[in-house]
Amino acid sequence: MAKYRVAVIGRTGKGAYGHGLDTVWLKCDKAEVVAVADENEAGRTAAAKRLNAKSAYADFRQMLEKERPQIVSVADRWPDCHRDMVLACAEYGANIFLEKPASQTLQQVDEMVAVCEKHHVKCAIAHQTAYSPRVKVVKDLIGEGKIGAVMELRGHGKEDKRGGGEDLMVLGTHTFDLMRHLAGDSKWCFARIQQAGRKAVSGDVRQGGEQIGPIVGDHITATYGFAGIALGHYVTHVAKDGASTRYWLEVRGTKGTIHLGFGILPAAYLCEDPSGMFGKSKAPWVEITSAGLGKPEPLNAKELDNGNILIVNDLIEAIEKDRAPLDSLSDGRAALEMIMAVYESHRLERPVDLPLKNRKHPLAAM
């Protein structure tokens, strides 16, 4: 069987090749990397050697025209280029594996979704946790009513020096994507942003690192409404203590709680205690693995390449079966929309409904 022709786009010094979105193809039996594009000459040469690519280009558009790949990894971690690269790939009929966050603004990602739909190409987002076999077990446990009706989903950023606006954009995309996979679409958002202990104002808006666009705040709190009685809570601040230790998601139900981390085999535990008085009852924390509740883990995270191999295999299956990838560009847009809802709610000083009516970046109007 002929292998899929794969190309990789990166930008050495400007987001590089993301979190392994280039080398994952070397582990995929159904694919062969035929070309790489990188505007940086040294980076381009190194990538071609690393990926065993026969051709290398400074211009990704030229690569798309000459090589006509069937799949492209838009691997650049910085999202300022995502819109242009995805549009070009779609127009040449190439399916896409895209680094997160999907883009800088909802206007950009709306255009990306429309062009992908127009040209009937699939686009998968590098939200690795969504592909975790442990998360699948967690979803099944929730669906079976193991923790009762979901009441709350509580998430934090890494809360390091990026705490606030940068944490919200760079890592919040994983949190909100996971919330959606477990609880469905958010219906509304109410948020407040602080800077140095006071309400953040227009003069506090700044450009974030890694070309993520405008950001604001060093302390953000946001609440989201989901179906039924479920509420989502998200907090990020520049922590004096415990930075990075709270980067997890807690799902609390009427009968118990699930504690879930991020990654392809994240820490996952269930406590069947409806009171939340952990340690005060006889209910223990039981580990959740890909094999089930309280069972030994049969998988090796290293062999799964941080989950990327699961993503590209799913993308190929999505192409062959003409279905959406497990975490598609539309999912990436929904996660970005939850981020932008924080800024829109703060700007308007009230709850906002999702999908947002305002597709422009809310901070542009502060």
End-to-end CA distance of the chain: 55
| Tokens coding 48 | 């071609």
Separation CA 70–CA 62 (nearest Å): 15
Task: Give the β-pairing of 123-125 and 95-98.
Answer: parallel
| Tokens coding 7 | 């190309």
Q: Are 130 and 177 in contact (CB under 8 A)?
A: yes
pLDDT score recorded for residue 366: 85
| Tokens coding 219 | 């302390």
Q: Which residues contact 251 (CB under 8 A, 6 or more apart)?
A: 138, 142, 147, 150, 152, 153, 182, 257, 258, 260
Q: Are 40 and 67 in contact (CB under 8 A)?
A: no
Task: Compute, in degrees rounded to 10, the torsion defined by CA atoms 283, 285, 290, 295.
Answer: -70
pLDDT score recorded for residue 304: 84
- Chain centroid to CA 59: how far? 27
Q: Phi, psi at residue 201, to the nearest 5°?
A: -125, 175
Cross-strand pairs, 2: none
Per-residue pLDDT of the chain (366 residues; tens, 9 = 90+): 799 999 999 999 999 999 999 999 999 999 999 999 999 999 999 999 999 999 999 999 999 999 999 999 999 999 999 999 999 999 999 999 999 999 999 999 999 999 999 999 999 999 999 999 999 999 999 999 999 999 999 999 999 999 999 999 999 999 999 999 999 999 999 999 999 999 999 999 999 999 999 999 999 999 999 999 999 999 999 999 999 999 999 999 999 999 999 999 999 999 999 998 888 878 999 999 999 999 999 998 888 878 999 999 999 999 999 999 999 999 999 999 999 999 999 999 999 999 999 999 999 988
- Chain centroid to CA 152: how far? 20
3-class DSSP state of 32: strand
Give pTM, 2 decimals: 0.96
Task: Give the β-pairing of 71-74 and 95-98.
Answer: parallel
Q: Are 101 and 175 in contact (CB under 8 A)?
A: no
DSSP at 276: -
Among 223, 253, 217, residue whose Cα is nearest residue 237: 217
| Tokens coding 13 | 């010094």
3-class DSSP state of 150: strand
